[in-house]
């Protein structure tokens, strides 16, 4: 076959493949919110699915606000934030992130074979840059991240402040990149033994397992080969994904947490102090995620969460994760918990660098995530040169954007107005 013919055949074959797209059921979106796709295959490898309000593709003069979800979430969860923020004159976009929802192009192979470099934090920023430019923008007025979304949001503000002009972290404080050992001793001859990291997730896990009863960090659990199956098939909940999402949202809300002592800063990072954190974060070592949820939900009434997380929304989450599974979403945790090495060492490029754009933290008073990483919230005064403060909503747990949508919108808009 002549070269031209080969090229033509390839193009035709690729076009046929590209046109064989998946047809998804429409999402039950509020008025003013639109679902769209943009193809960044040539830059990030992804076709992004996103929701937007206040945006006009032919006119990109409105400032862009970008919202990033965490785990186990999707862009749909932010649907009720978009229009109220857009009414202040913004183009507001929430996207399904790599590994989630209707965004495609990420490595879907099983745990043992997946290319984890796709989920390196630097690559997540690259995803965002490609996405923003594909939308016709070169600047983002603010990037808002919830839960694990605070990591790409924070890294974007840290590494590309020229693009991401402010950052709002919701529910999980940002932890800056690792720093290399400082001012090490020198020796006249090569050392007889090589140094080892003084802190790793594996080391913390080993210490937690020696507690009575033995415990383990949920992030470590989420990184294990069995986690994706455990989430997709919650055996202790009669294999009901609907029950999983209902209880997961309930036990991290004030409806459940208000019956216990409120979250508070931990005295230290010692495993004995971490043991104060509820089982859904510092789990019992002998329980799966569904067993943990079943234990915590015993004698409770998770249905009270329907007032702010209705069954129709739970059904969307079930629909989306039933199709994609959980491994793509859990790969973020595998990078997070990796020891110093190829997946994490590029972060040393930014060692000691501070976030220089306006930064704000919004959380819930009943959310233990605020304090799991000791000193992270207080650390903003060190890690950010323009920290605008923090607010913990009195009636919120881990999900302020749906538990108290109005208050969440108010603080987001206030932050944006003061930029």
Higher pLDDT, 203 or 53: 53
Q: What is the pLDDT of residues 289-332, one digit of tens each?
A: 999 999 999 999 999 999 999 999 999 999 999 999 999 999 99
| Same-domain pairing of 401 and 362 | yes
Measure the CA–CA gap between 72 and 87, rounded to whole angstroms: 28
The Cβ of residue 147 has, within 10 Å, a number of other Cβ atoms equal to 19
Q: What is the 3-state secondary structure (H, E, C) of the chain?
A: CCHHHHHHHHHHHHHHHHHCCCCCCCCCCCCCCEEEEEEECCCCCEEEEEEEECCECCECCCCEEEEECCCCCCHHHHHHHHHHHHCCCCEEEEECCCCCCCCECCCCCCCCCCCHHHHCHHHHHHHHHHHHHHCCCCCECEEEEEHHHHHHHHHHHHHCCCCECCEEEECCCCCCCCCCCCCCCCCCCCCCCCCCCCCCHHHHHHHHCCCCCCEEEHHHHHCCCCHHHHHHCCHHHCCCHHHHHHHHHHHCCHHHHCCCCCCCCCCCCCHHHHCCCCCCCEEECCCCHHHHHHHHHCCCCHHHHHHCCCHHHHHHHHHHHHHHCCHHHHHHHHHHCCCCCCCCHHHHHHCCCCECCCEEEEEECCCHHHCCCCCCCCCHHHHECCEEEEEEECCCCCCHHHHCHHHHHHHHHHHHHCC
Q: How far apart are CA 84 and CA 81, in angstroms?
A: 6
User: Please, what is the average pLDDT of the chain?
Assistant: 94
Kindly state whether residues 307 and 393 are assigned to the same domain: no
Closest by Cα among 69, 85, 108, 101 to 30: 85
Higher pLDDT, 193 or 399: 399
Pairing state between β 91-95 and 64-68: parallel
Domain, as residue range, for 64: 31-179+348-417
pLDDT over 70 (residue 13): no
When pLDDT is cut at 50, 70 and 90, the band that residue 384 belongs to is: very high
Sign of the dihedral defined by the CA atoms of residues 256, 261, 262, 268, in that order: negative
Token pair 């108290």: residue: 404
Same domain (yes/no): 103, 226: no
pLDDT of residue 17: 38
Residues 361, 321 within the same domain: no
Q: Is residue 118 part of a domain?
A: yes
pLDDT digits (tens, 9 = 90+) for 208-248: 999 999 999 999 999 999 999 999 999 999 999 999 999 99
Domain identity same for 215 and 289: yes
- Could you tell me the two tokens for 264? 């508070």
Q: For 257-299, how does the pLDDT look when each residue is reduced to its tens digit (9 = 90+)?
A: 999 999 999 999 899 999 999 999 999 999 999 999 999 999 9
Query: In terms of domains, do 243 and 156 share one?
Result: no
Say how many domains are in the chain. Answer: 2
Chosen domain end from 278, 297, 331: 331
Q: How far is CA 132 from the centre of its chain?
A: 18
> Considering the domain boundaries, does residue 207 fall inside one?
yes
Express each pLDDT in 173-197 by its tens digit: 999 998 888 898 899 999 887 776 6
Residue 405 has pLDDT above 90, yes or no: yes
Looking at the fold, whether 54 and 113 belong to one and the same domain comes out as yes
Domain boundary among 266, 296, 331: 331
User: Scanning the structure block, which residue is given the tokens 């945790």?
Assistant: 333
Establish if 7 belongs to a structural domain.
Answer: no
Q: Looking at the structure, tell me whether residues 173 and 277 fall in a common domain.
A: no
Do 315 and 393 fall within a single domain?
Answer: no
Looking at the structure, tell me whether residues 220 and 161 fall in a common domain: no
Does one domain contain both 79 and 126?
yes
User: Does 215 share its domain with 310?
Assistant: yes
Q: Which residue has the tokens 């029950």?
A: 243
Residue 324 placed within a domain: yes
Q: Is residue 271 part of a domain?
A: yes
Residue 271 · residue 285 · CB < 8 Å:
no
Flag whether 212 is in a domain: yes
Q: Which of 331, 366, 385 is the last residue of a domain?
A: 331
- What whole-number distance in Å separates Cα of residue 86 and Cα of residue 188? 63
> Contact 142/415 with Cβ under 8 angstroms?
yes
In a domain, 265, yes or no: yes
Residue 153's CATH number: 3.40.50.1820
Mean pLDDT of 353-375: 97
- Whether 248 is in a domain gets the answer yes
Rg for the chain, CA atoms, rounded? 22
CB 113 within 8 A of CB 35: no
SS (H, E, C) 351-364: CCCCECCCEEEEEE
Predicted confidence (pLDDT) at residue 14 exceeds the cutoff of 80: no
Dihedral of CA 324/327/333/334: which sign? Answer: negative
């Amino acid at each position: 076959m002549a070269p031209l013919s080969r090229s033509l055949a390839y193009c035709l074959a690729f076009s046929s493949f590209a046109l064989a797209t998946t047809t998804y059921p429409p999402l039950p979106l509020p008025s003013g919110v639109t679902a769209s796709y943009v193809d960044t295959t040539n830059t990030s490898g992804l076709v992004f699915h996103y929701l937007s309000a206040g945006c006009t593709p032919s006119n990109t003069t409105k400032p862009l606000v970008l919202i990033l979800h965490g785990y186990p979430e999707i862009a749909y969860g932010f649907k009720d934030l978009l229009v109220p923020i857009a009414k202040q004159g913004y183009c507001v976009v929430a996207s399904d992130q790599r590994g989630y929802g209707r965004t495609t192009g990420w490595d879907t192979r099983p745990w043992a074979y997946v290319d984890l470099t796709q989920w390196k934090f630097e690559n997540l920023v690259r995803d965002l840059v490609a996405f923003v430019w594909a939308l016709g923008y070169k600047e983002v007025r603010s990037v808002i991240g919830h839960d694990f979304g605070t990591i790409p949001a924070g890294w974007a503000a840290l590494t590309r402040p020229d693009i991401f002009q402010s950052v709002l972290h919701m529910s999980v404080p940002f932890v800056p990149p690792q720093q290399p050992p400082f001012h090490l001793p020198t020796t006249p001859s090569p050392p007889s033994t090589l140094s080892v990291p003084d802190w790793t997730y594996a080391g913390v896990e080993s210490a937690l397992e020696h507690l009575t009863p033995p415990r383990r960090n949920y992030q470590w659990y989420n990184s294990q080969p069995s986690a994706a199956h455990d989430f997709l098939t919650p055996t202790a909940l009669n294999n009901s994904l609907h029950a999983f999402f209902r209880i997961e949202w309930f036990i991290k809300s004030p409806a459940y947490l208000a019956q216990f002592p409120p979250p508070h800063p931990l005295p230290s990072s010692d495993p004995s102090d971490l043991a104060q954190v509820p089982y859904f974060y510092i789990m019992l070592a002998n329980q799966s995620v569904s067993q943990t949820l079943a234990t915590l939900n015993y004698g409770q009434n998770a249905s009270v969460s329907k007032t702010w997380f209705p069954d129709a929304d739970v059904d969307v989450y079930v629909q989306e994760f039933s199709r994609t599974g959980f491994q793509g979403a859990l790969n973020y945790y595998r990078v997070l918990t990796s020891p110093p090495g190829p997946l994490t060492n590029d972060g040393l490029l930014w060692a000691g660098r501070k976030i220089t754009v306006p930064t704000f933290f919004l959380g819930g008073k009943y959310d233990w995530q605020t304090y799991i990483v000791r000193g992270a919230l207080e650390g903003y005064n060190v890690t950010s040169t323009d920290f605008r403060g923090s607010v913990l909503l009195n009636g919120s747990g881990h999900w302020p954007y749906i538990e108290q949508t109005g208050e969440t919108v108010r603080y987001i808009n206030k932050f944006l107005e003061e930029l």
